[in-house]
Amino acid sequence: MNAPAIKSRLPAVLYAPDGTRRVDYRAVVGLAWPLFVQFGVQAFLNVVDTWFVGRLGADAVAGMNAVNFSSFTLLLLFGGSGIAVQTIAAQRNGEGRKARASQAAWHGAYSAVVLAPLAIGIALAGRDIFDFFALPDTVVTAASDYWLPRMAGGGLVVVYFALSNFFNGVGRTRISLMGAVVAFVCNIGLNWLLILQLGWGMYGAGLATTLSVGAGLLFYIVMYISRPFRAEYATTRTWRFRPRVLARVFKLGLPIGVHAFFDVGAFAAFQLMVGKLGSVPGAATQIAMILTSLAFLPVAGLNFAAATLVGQSIGAGDKDWANRVGTACIKLALGYMTVWALLFATAGGPLSSVFVTATDPNAQAVVELSATLLLIAAGYQLFDALNLGTLGCLRGSGDVVVPTAALLILAWCIFVPLSHILIFEPGQGWFDFLPAYGLGAKGGWIAALVHITLLGSFLLYRWKSGAWRKLKAA
């Protein structure tokens, strides 16, 4: 590959007259801001969902606390094949093989055919799943009502991920953002209709979310087969099924999905533990989770931008540039999360009060506990920036197995057991053989502080070690 061809395809690069290179932060921001806003929209959507559910009372919010991360965990596991499309599409785009980028999108969508029946089966088992964790009956009912329509739409989520990540991988992040905005607007209207007007409660909340995903997916399909993409990426001519391409999607997507499953699943287990304590700790944890999502979900947008920039650089044959542009994304993530760390430390109470109703007898207790949890969360914001920023860089390079193994160890050998030890009093937890210090919800958030600090530190070490340079392209 000749040097001029490589230069023409390198992302976010500025050349000085003497030929030296530096990162074009304007180009990085230009690619990242739609993703940043897209994940910010998702965070705000979680806020809106919680506000609507909050009109149903503390039991409903506690039920959402129990189910929100649990459903998201499994949807991310199924959606790993869709997320893998970004890495493949970015590298093929960097190589100049644009039809192969759209071929990856088709096969990401095909993976939904395998995964959708499994999602439906899990959706039907919702009450049995939540009964197993011995949650209060009111919480189980609320969680199960939300779980059924949310999980039944798992196949839609996979295809949604595949197409949105195709657009991310080829650098058309504004289209990805527009699809998310379509889903956001639909979800607000459907929440108003199904929860407040028709009185469908938590079932209506879950159905509104699934139907809004379908609306966003329809937008992506229209854009994917539009004339500009047909001309540049041959999107209507690369649909033929290729077992090798599907195998490549699953090979990369399985570790990505498993990583998300172990990561978010650990927090789901943590939330289920807190949910066992009752409505006040469960509601306070849900509110704190929603507010912290305003910090980490936009940084997840930088995570995806980093994956695109690193993947395109590797596809163009320049791993040194992949290192530089990926590190630039990590620095941007750190700057953003610093602001939220200060906000959580100083304004947790006022932020939390938005999500409770004055007539709820538990309102004051929920706000006070939520403010304490946010103070603890302020301590790990910078490490979460390292976690998300470096993970995107590693995913763009195809380095997904070692980070997944590290996450498995840290999440399930440290975070989850430590949460159990710190949350429950003796005889209150799931396992009697573990020590019990009875710190309640605060104990779980202290465990999260330990976990995220260790994970962010390891992933930064992995990126800086350069082990990803030895991997073949996806």
Q: Is residue 203 part of a domain?
A: yes
pLDDT tens digits, 138-184: 777 778 888 889 989 999 999 999 999 999 999 999 999 999 999 99
Could you give the CA distance from residue 12 to residue 18 in angstroms, rounded to a whole number?
18
Name 176's Cβ contacts closer than 8 Å, sequence gap at least 6.
Answer: 34, 35, 38, 164, 165, 167, 168
Cβ atoms of residues 387 and 459 within 8 Å: yes
Alpha helices in 240-318 (DSSP H): 243-275, 279-315
Single out the residue of 187, 160, 137 nearest to residue 81, CA to CA: 160
pLDDT digits (tens, 9 = 90+) for 202-248: 899 889 999 999 999 999 999 999 999 999 999 999 999 999 999 99
Quick check: 460 pLDDT over 60?
yes
Mean pLDDT of 280-309: 86
Query: Residue 245 domain-assigned?
Result: yes
Least confident of 43-52, 176-185, 350-359, 460-469: 43-52
| Calpha distance 370→284 (Å, rounded) | 5
Distance separating alpha carbons of residues 320 and 10, to the nearest angstrom: 11
Three-state DSSP state, 326: helix
4 within a domain of the structure (yes/no) = no
Q: In this structure, is residue 8 part of a structural domain? A: no
pLDDT (tens digit per residue) in 380-438: 999 999 999 999 999 999 999 999 999 999 999 999 999 999 999 998 888 888 999 99
Contact 306, 329 (CB under 8 A): yes
Whether 107 contacts 246, CB under 8 Å: yes
How distant, in Å, are the alpha carbons of 25, 101, 256, 388 from that of 85? 25, 8, 11, 18
pLDDT over 90, % of the chain:
56
310 pLDDT above the threshold of 90 = yes
Indicate whether 297 belongs to any domain.
yes
Could you tell me what percentage of the chain is helix, strand and coil, using 3-state DSSP and rounding each to the nearest 5?
A: 80, 0, 15
Mean pLDDT, to the nearest integer, of 316-326?
93
Q: What's the rounded Cα separation, in Å, for the pair 290 and 269?
A: 16
User: Chain-wide mean pLDDT for the chain?
Assistant: 88
Any domain includes 56: yes
Say how many domains are in the chain: 1
Q: What is the pLDDT of residue 25?
A: 87
Identify the domain containing residue 421 by its residue range: 25-470
The angle that helices 58-95 and 137-152 make with each other, rounded to 10 degrees, is: 30
Residues in the chain: 474
pTM of the model as a whole: 0.77
Residue 18 within any structural domain of the chain: no
